[in-house]
Amino acid sequence: MKFFQKLWQNNKQFIVFILLMSVFRSAIADWYTVPTGSMQPTIKEGDRIIVNKMAYDLRFPFSQLSLLTTGEPQRGEIVVFESKAAKNRLIKRMIGLPGDVIKMSNETLYINSKALTYQITEQNAEQLFATEQVDAISHVIRIDKTRSAQLSSFGPITVPADHYLVLGDNRRNSSDSRVYGFVPRHELKGKATTIAFSVDYDNYYLPRDNRFFKDIYGI
């Protein structure tokens, strides 16, 4: 007991700082390391993404208990969620809200029978890049022509209540709702907002100098 009393007396400020930082990261904001390329070209492997954990819920620290609903996901936002189906934390783009009817036909998405707007920006024999407009959010998707087109068409399907349909921007190289199904509301951890920094795995983990504190929706 005396050991803990002495530890507290000698390190009081540091212990309080660690506790407050832990609460902050648990309930308010945190960062997420992106290990795969499923969100390319928007998010690259090695990006450290800042996540607003209060975007949708105020949760009791160190738990999944929601104390207050603070907002609802919007189409086009990038969300982080703990997927029970995938047994992993995932980051994907929000496409379908509860009640939406979603269809994909040869890479083109339809939301409630209306096709999204696309503009091809670059293509060659191996890949294609196009700007996709999801409500007010415009972003770039990638189509890897060397991979199977098995997931390039589906639906129409209706998103159930309290669930969401999410997709990766790297459309033929993403395990998302096409693989794991709809995302339950309670699995949402927060909204991705900013790239804090990024390291290049192919260049000795050196930082990418053009990705410091970059707005994820301005890419």
Q: What residues are labeled active site?
A: 38, 92
Torsions phi, psi for 201 (to 5 deg): -65, -25
Six-digit token pair at 193? 């907002």
Tell me 170's DSSP state.
Answer: B
Strands 154-158 and 163-167: unpaired
Tell me 177's DSSP state.
Answer: H
Map residue 37 onto helix, strand or coil: coil
Q: What contacts 80, CB < 8 A, 6 or more positions away?
A: 32, 49, 51, 89, 90, 91, 188, 189, 190, 191, 192
CB distance 97 to 191 below 8 Å: no
